A and B are shown apart, each in its own frame.
Chain A
Amino acid sequence: MFPRAAWERIMDAPASHDASASKIAFPRSAWERDTTINQETKMLKIENLHVSVGDKPILKGLNLEINAGEVHAIMGPNGAGKSTLSHVLSGKPGYNITEGKVTYMGEDLLDMDPEIRSREGVFLAFQYPVEIPGVSNIYLLKAALNSIRKHNGLDEVDAMDFLTMVKDKIKLLEMDEKFLYRAVNEGFSGGEKKRNEILQAAILEPKLCILDETDSGLDIDALKIVAEGVNSLRAAERSFLMITHYQRLLDYIKPDIVHVLADGQIVKSGGPELALELEAKGYQWVEGQAA
């Protein structure tokens, strides 16, 4: 039964206890300990992926491999299929996968329900985070963390330990604690919504973090804060797939590999310098190459 209401009451009450009093070490989750990824094992392997919406093909034979610890950026013009890729990987309904295969940690990703993908460590930072009136941010965060912990055979965290943990993370993103008690994304500015997404990633500690146009709608100050948050999450066993329209984000989050997505395919891959070249020459340059 989901609403573990006993703690929810505590969550709804303003925090009054001394946070330092309950310094409980959070056990590294089982899945983090167990999955010392063999260099040979890809974290994510996308092979010849074809996806349509209705009858319209969007992705047309996309191939991509991401190793543990790598940061990949996918750039591309509007309508190239960037958001479709992030939605298909996270399991959003409404897409027809007509061909191809996606392997995540050696498992068939496309076979998993969206919540299972999440619990297995796939996180999507949404381009347009939704509002959930009446549900406090901290309630959602704790419910999410516990569903993931439960899936991985761990005990649920109690309210006090959780609060301590969240307070540490929230400082990182220069967010006010009041955010925790506000309804999920309700009345948040664009920048606050994006920071909130990164806060969720910081708490859920995913293995594969997909950032869908995380830079859109951010001013430069907010962009820096979000980027710092993302950078602090970089780890040897965590990979990132950043989807972006502009090179600007990559000034703050340095990718290992940059891909250009055009007309449903990866048409070019390279180092960070590719992004700069793209910025200088425009997408027509790669679109010309694809043809």
Chain B
Amino acid sequence: MSSSAKEVENLIAQEYTQGFVTDIEVETFPPGLDEEVIAKLSKIKNEPEFMLEYRLKAFRHWQTMKEPDWAQLNIEPIDYQAISYYSAPKKDSDKPQSLDEIDPELLETYKKLGIPLDEQERLAGVAVDAVFDSVSVATTFKGKLNDVGVIFCPISEALQEHPELVKQYLGTVVPEGDNFFAALNAAVFTDGSFVYIPKGVRCPMELSTYFRINAANTGQFERTLIIADEDSHVSYLEGCTAPMRDENQLHAAVVELVAMDNAEIKYSTVQNWYPGDENGVGGIYNFVTKRAECRGHNSKVSWTQVETGSAITWKYPSCVLLGDNSVGEFYSVALTNNYQQADTGTKMIHIGKNTSSTIISKGISAGKAQNTYRGLVKVGKGAENARNYTQCDSLLVGDRCGAHTFPYVEVKQPSAQVEHEATTSKISEDQLFFCQQRGLSAEDAVSMIVNGFCKEVFKELPMEFAVEAQALLGISLEGSVG
């Protein structure tokens, strides 16, 4: 590494120790949730009237609902009245001014990942929206995007600037009463990203949001809404980090994607929420509803996720393939170590004719972790010539972890073709010894073997993030071999 890079690195380390993360003055609601809290939240955000109604409707629905218990997860009861539903930097001057200031942790992570800093400079060429606790703190490259008509801003801002667009699409993919966590999100979401790509526009750069939970005892409920109008194209990435805390923290997000005729959305996630310590203390509960609607003909949505963090992950990014010839893809790597639990997968709902979907899922389980793939492929009556290919591979590291697969297939159209392949394997002692005999440490060997196992998914990620994802796997596997 060059000396200037070293200096920058030292600088970052300093910033981290000074820590605006700990010093920042925040305004936080007292814990608890009722209609008054929601009204206050809506008022602080200066939301249009329809939003308050939407939130209250969701809240009333939520109160009648029960937490889902069908997942292969062991969840400690959550006291929703003990959570604070709003936390934000108090003064504008406290808001970070540039990406470097926003997330020293992220840069620290990069440092640990061994990714050269010039990689980060290249990352800066990505338009970034940073969500810090409950609010979006900075969005970069807004002007440049504006020039081509792309709207990329915090959803709170979109509610001020483009209320008609938000109103038209919000909740149309994931209705406010869809499920327990989606209803909670609809009632209390505070911020998130809004993207609108106009007709015929190919978004000139990657759009990216970095989510960070900072304050203690707060939940994070962000809402992302992406609309790709006819003949448009966008690639979007989200990254997530959180500090280490002994208490579990709740993260219940909703992501809605809408793709119109011939539009394409590529949505990538590198999720690295704090997973808890090696004894399973602390960590984020990551209960997320992500769904895309391929409304238009020939539209395409591709989900790629690399899930290495969180104490518990409950997440099924799905595609509703309404338009004829529409395509849904799901590429997933879910890695669990220590006491982490993941129940994740996808739903591909084929409604239009000639719709096709691909599911590639790679689950890796180490330590005492439990890793579950749960997927639904549903082909409706009218979905002539629908096609699905599912490949579901599990890799076990050690002998105290578990891998589970629950594929559901419902087909109501005789011309449909649905394929499912599944494998479960274990890193063999022979593979480990072979690598060690070639000079690699056991940990490096495991990391390399796991990276090889995930290759098909990593190649779907944008370049910069493939690098990050690979390195993340290595870090997440630390201590997985005795």
Contact = CB atoms under 8 A, between A and B. Distances in A.
B471 interface: yes
A118 B438 contact: yes
A286 to B, nearest CB: 30
Interface in B342-383: none
Nearest to B468: A5
A109 interface: no
Of A128, A134, A200, most B-chain CB atoms within 10 Å: A134
Interface string B454-482: 11100000010011001101110000000
Interface size class of B (residues with CB under 8 A): 35 or more
Given A1-B475, A134-B454, A93 B440 contact: no
Contacts of B434: 126, 129-130, 132
A171 interface: no
A114 B433 contact: yes
A139 B437 CA distance: 15
Given A93-B433, A129-B434, A3 B448 contact: yes
A113 B435 CA distance: 12
A91 interface: yes
Interface in A126-142: 126, 128-130, 132-135, 139-140
A5 B439 contact: no
Given A6-B116, A6-B119, A148 B439 contact: yes
Contact of A114 (B112, B430, B437): B437
Given A3-B470, A5-B471, A114-B436, A143 B444 contact: yes
Interface in A116-166: 117-119, 123-124, 126, 128-130, 132-135, 139-140, 143-145, 147-148, 151
Of B112, B441, B447, B453, most A-chain CB atoms within 10 Å: B441
Of B434, B449, B451, most A-chain CB atoms within 10 Å: B434
A1 B474 contact: yes
A132 B448 CA distance: 9
A135 B430 contact: no
Contact of B439 (A9, A93, A129, A151): A151
A4 interface: yes
B362 to A, nearest CB: 10
A144 B438 contact: yes
Contacts of A1: 112-114, 471, 474-475
Given A1-B471, A133-B453, A9 B119 contact: no
A200 B437 CA distance: 11
A286 B431 CA distance: 36
Contact of B467 (A2, A5, A92, A117): A5
A192 to B, nearest CB: 16
Contact of A135 (B439, B448, B456, B463): B448
Contacts of A6: 115-116, 119, 467
A222 B413 CA distance: 54
B433 A2 contact: no
A3 B428 contact: no
Of B113, B443, B452, B467, most A-chain CB atoms within 10 Å: B452
Contacts of B433: 92-93, 114
A115 interface: yes
Contacts of B437: 90-92, 114-115, 117-118, 123-124, 126
Contacts of A200: 438
A113 to B, nearest CB: 7
Interface of A: 1-6, 8-9, 90-94, 113-115, 117-119, 123-124, 126, 128-130, 132-135, 139-140, 143-145, 147-148, 151, 183, 200, 204
